Structure 1
């Protein structure tokens, strides 16, 4: 029996970047509360801070607090400071740059930096590619990605390379490696598993991501629940078979209620 849950955000609770929720998401969250099932909204979303995500979800009708949300921005600033990364070049939104400035970092628009931090950037262009590559290759900047996602889905339903794929491109070009702060990183997992306080074999993960989320956390012993409402579909399943496959949160409520 599942005694705690990691619940993905994009493609599971929400359907787009504006965090518009699926119709059955409030029922699902209420079900978890009523049945005293501890959960964390485990997201790689770094377009908003955890507090902003929680605020927006409440506006949309979900009964959640900031403590229910774990994102890469929950761990990245502290780790970067511990490692002496004072100046950074960011591939990402203006909001992301502002967030790191508020956390005390010198966010620069040039290549002479300690680290290149990669988030989702829908305006990625050749100039940004040059600055980041030069920072890593000539100034020995470290590469940090906010998650390791292979692909992401835009609001129009079309797919594009995820943050992890962009980071891997830079790492390959510069003959180095990168670390990430997202799901399946040791840093992220320490935060989320300690907060749930349950043995791994008693936990489940609900996600639309077959590869980073389900395959990754399945390898740690979690029960894997695949929902088809996001970026991957049943036909994308290859060598990894999730424990359960559902087409909606309503189906998961029925499954967990009957368990």
Structure 2
């Protein structure tokens, strides 16, 4: 299969928890890409940490990955929000996310009188936050944004939970607003533009998307012409993917691609 460059998911593909502990074979796979000068970017929907924090943690865990290869929703969101003239935000997400957005000049409020509601991954999501977000959208006509469109996510303990996109969809349904809310994750227009600019590959059919996310990542990037590699180390299983005709290759470990898709190291 002719793959000359890779877009590589992070959670469930290279790393297995919020400490960014490597999945077996992941460090060796990245080392092999580096050795063979194969172009790649790390495309993640992680919204709890900045690209710099992720890059530092990856290096501490043995990954030789430069920070400028890492694309996250936080690379995209501030510029788009400013272009949309958003100044005040109610944020559903981590304290790290709120601090990051505050450092970019946004006013973060814990009340519904805001310009926009921004949905990120929030492990402390509760009824009060749901009320504030709903009131902001329905009563104060705030705009709705999401940091990604993930349907489902997997926690460090192996249990699954509704993804950011699913929570945002809940708000859009409840408030009858913005059915196609803007998101800043993979398969978002702005995200894809940054991704392709960093890869510098003209022929998109020679790019391989490696992910554990069947629906947003693999189905999405197949639709725009990329090759697709499903890895079984994350949130979906082979059983989940049995009818997914948009998957080109399935592997249980990234090192299975060495000698098969990329040169031996």
TM over 0.5: yes
Counterpart for residue 208 of structure 1: 212
Deviation, 1:3, is 1.0
Deviations 1:134-164 (A, max 9, x none): 0000111111000000000001101000000
RMSD: 1.1
Instruction: Measure, in 2, the Cα distance between the counterparts of 1:176 and 1:237.
Output: 32
Counterpart for residue 169 of structure 1: 170
Mapped contact 1:118–1:167 kept (Cα < 8 A): yes
Mapped contact 2:76–2:190 kept (Cα < 8 A): yes
Counterpart for residue 64 of structure 1: 65
Mapped contact 1:55–1:65 kept (Cα < 8 A): no
Stretches of structure 1 lacking an aligned partner (at least 5 in a row): none
Matched, 1:180 2:183: yes
- Looking at secondary structure, tell me which structure has more helix per residue: 1
Counterpart for residue 42 of structure 1: 43
Mapped contact 1:54–1:64 kept (Cα < 8 A): yes
Instruction: Measure, in 2, the Cα distance between the counterparts of 1:258 and 1:59.
Output: 27
TM-score normalised by L of structure 1 = 0.98
Instruction: Measure, in 2, the Cα distance between the counterparts of 1:182 and 1:239.
Output: 25
Matched residue of 1:6: which SS? strand
Instruction: Measure, in 1, the Cα distance between the counterparts of 2:227 and 2:145.
Output: 29
Counterpart for residue 245 of structure 1: 250
Stretches of structure 2 lacking an aligned partner (at least 5 in a row): none
Counterpart for residue 93 of structure 1: 94
Mapped contact 1:19–1:57 kept (Cα < 8 A): yes
Counterpart for residue 128 of structure 2: 127
Q: Which moved more, 1:193-202 or 1:206-215?
A: 193-202
What are the residue-to-residue correspondences of 1:5-84 with 2, within 5 Å? 5-84=6-85
TM-score normalised by L of structure 2 = 0.96
